[in-house]
Chain A
Amino acid sequence: MTVVARLTDVSRIYPPRAGHAAVHALGPLSMELRAGEFFSVVGPSGCGKSTLLDVLSGLAPPSQGTVEFEGKPVAGVVPEGVGVVFQEDASFPWLPVEDNVAFGLRRQGMDAAEIKRRADFAIGFMGLNDFRRAYPSQLSGGMRQRVCIARTLVLQPRLILLDEPFGALDQQTRLLMGDELLRLWRETSATVMLITHALDEANLLSDRIGVMSARPGRFIDVVETGWPRDRDSRLAERPDFGAVTSKLWSLLRTESMRALGQGAVAAQ
């Protein structure tokens, strides 16, 4: 089995700043992402999920340990082949949808015909055909997130990292976006890592789910779902679906309570 990305004994410690002690946000933890899998990370709030994504993508260097993507070390620079979709709206308000989507390709100086071909595909794939000339301000939150996904998709990443991309969306939209994410994963055969706080969502979408402890985040367990590759939100109707969610919750319950305690202490 090919490993796409590997973290070895990685920790991330935020140095002390005026009036604040150093924060040990993550690790030490080790993990591997297998080529073509859909991996989700769940964990109590504040456990360092986003920090994990930052370190894995190269947006932030690890304080200790090593990060590899396709066998090459990653340190503080996002490697070619890695695409990230963030929780917050990252669409560019000054560009219409099609220019938002084509943004990365234009910066690479690719020829116009190829840019158009790829952007057309991504726009069509994310169902944005009717909104090509629209500006983000004219779109709903869900549509803007699609724009951001399309903008990442055109770069044809081999590893796609998503940081709670549907966090701000309502439940129905989330389910539909989850289905689209599965379709994207199947058709691009990219490896996907999704950070989420929704246990159902992690269960539904993933091949494997990494369950993290309260801060400093480590993996308590990695749950294999065993779902077929060709799946969608109707998976939730299966009788064994609930068992996986229950298992995730039983792993997380004490950790989440610990995290709540940390929050209460931090708030004092």
Chain B
Amino acid sequence: MSKAGLIRLVVLVAFFGAVEALCRTGVISPKLVIAPTAMVEAMVNMLASGEMNDDIRQTLSSVGIAMGLSIVGGFALGCVLYWAPPLRRTFDPFLAAYYSLPHFAFYPLLIVIFGLGSLPLIVLATLFAMVAMILATLTGLDRIPRVLIKTARMQRLSLLAEIWHIRLPAAAPHLFSGLKLAVTYSFIGVIAGEFIVSTSGLGHQIAFAYDNFDNRTMYGLILFVLCIAIVFNLLVFAYERRLARQRGL
């Protein structure tokens, strides 16, 4: 393990150890925070009982669909805007200002349009995540060095071969940053949306437990959501490391 990794581990252990001690000695009231070991216990019990399985399934499938739509759609729209400069000039101000909008304020409107259930959440998360992918795609395509395009022409490549063998790999690092953001934003979009008005899903269950002073369930769920997010991020990180190694970095 690297030195930084070791220090990180020590910090984490010290932090959770301290919280554990403060909770167990009653310095921190269980009405506020329960001990980390109790959180783990609550999460394990909850998973073992299977009571949350439907909510887990619903949330993860919504996240998955939003992720897929925003990555594929964002990439496609990014390409369209890149190859149609007038269109891009038209939408540039909207794209630039997009993330200053409070997206979740539109959630009630989406419910009116799409009804209750998963659909408005998927739409919300996709809207939230897709623009990150569009912007990353545009940046990636913009930053392809001109000399590589010239090289493609010197190699007498067809347009398709140029895109596949030169433009996409050259833009890949930026596309990947967009992908990472889209993954994260899909998570945030779905779970935060569920908090507000949904009648099921992990976000709703956390809000429900909170409303009922059910700290054990609430912290168990929060820990579970955290675990899923961490696992996803680790997977993406591992894949990114692999790509970087393929470039000798």
Query: Which chain A residues have a beta carbon within 8 Å of chain B's beta carbons?
Result: 57, 59, 77-78, 80, 82-84, 86-90, 92-94, 96, 103-104, 107, 134-138, 152, 155
Instruction: For B157, give the chain A residue with the smallest CB separation.
Output: A107
Tell which of B20-28, B40-48, B146-154 binds the partner.
Answer: B146-154
Cβ-defined contact, B156 with A90, below 8 A: no
CA distance A103 to B247 in the complex (A): 16
Contacting residues, chain A, for B153 (C-beta < 8 A): 59, 77-78
Chain B residues lying within 8 Å of A134, measured Cβ to Cβ, are: 248
A-B contact pairs, 9 of them (CB 8 A): A59-B153, A78-B154, A83-B154, A84-B151, A92-B148, A94-B170, A134-B248, A136-B248, A137-B247
Query: Are B247 and A94 in touch, CB under 8 angstroms?
Result: yes
Instruction: Tell me whether A59 and B247 are in contact in the complex, defined as CB-CB below 8 angstroms, given that A88-B145, A90-B148, A107-B161 are known contacts.
Output: no
Q: How far is the CB of A207 from chain B (nearest CB, A)?
A: 24
Partner of B156, one of A78, A87, A88, A93: A78
With A59-B153, A92-B148, A94-B172 known, 7 other A-B pairs at CB within 8 A are A83-B154, A88-B147, A90-B148, A92-B169, A93-B170, A93-B247, A107-B155
A86 with B151: in contact, given A80-B156, A138-B248 (CB under 8 Å)?
yes
Q: A90's contact among B150, B246, B249, by CB below 8 Å, is which?
A: B150
Closest A residue, CB atoms, query B243: A94
Verify B154–A103 contact, CB threshold 8 A: no
Bound complex: CA A84 to CA B152 (Å): 11
User: Measured between alpha carbons, how far is A135 from B249 in the docked complex, in Å?
Assistant: 8
- Tell yes or no: B143 within 8 A of A by CB: no
Which residues in B have their C-beta under 8 angstroms from that of A57? 154
- Are B165 and A135 in contact (CB-based, < 8 A)? no
Q: How far is the CA of A134 from the CA of B247 in the complex (A)?
A: 9
Min CB distance A128 to B, Å, is 14
CB distance from A74 to the nearest CB of B (A): 13
**How many Å lie between the Cα of A107 and that of B154 in the bound state?**
12
Q: Are A104 and B155 in contact (CB under 8 A)?
A: yes
Inside 8 A of B246's CB, which chain A residues have their CB? 94
- Asked if A84 contacts B150 (CB within 8 A), the reply is yes
Residues of chain B within 8 A (CB-CB) of A137 are 247-249
Distance from A80 Cβ to chain B, minimum over Cβ atoms (Å): 7
- The verdict on A86 contacting B147 (CB below 8 Å), with A93-B247, A137-B247 known, is yes
**Chain A residues whose CB sits within 8 angstroms of the CB of B145 once the complex forms:** 88, 90
Q: Which residue of B lies closest to A54 (CB)?
A: B150
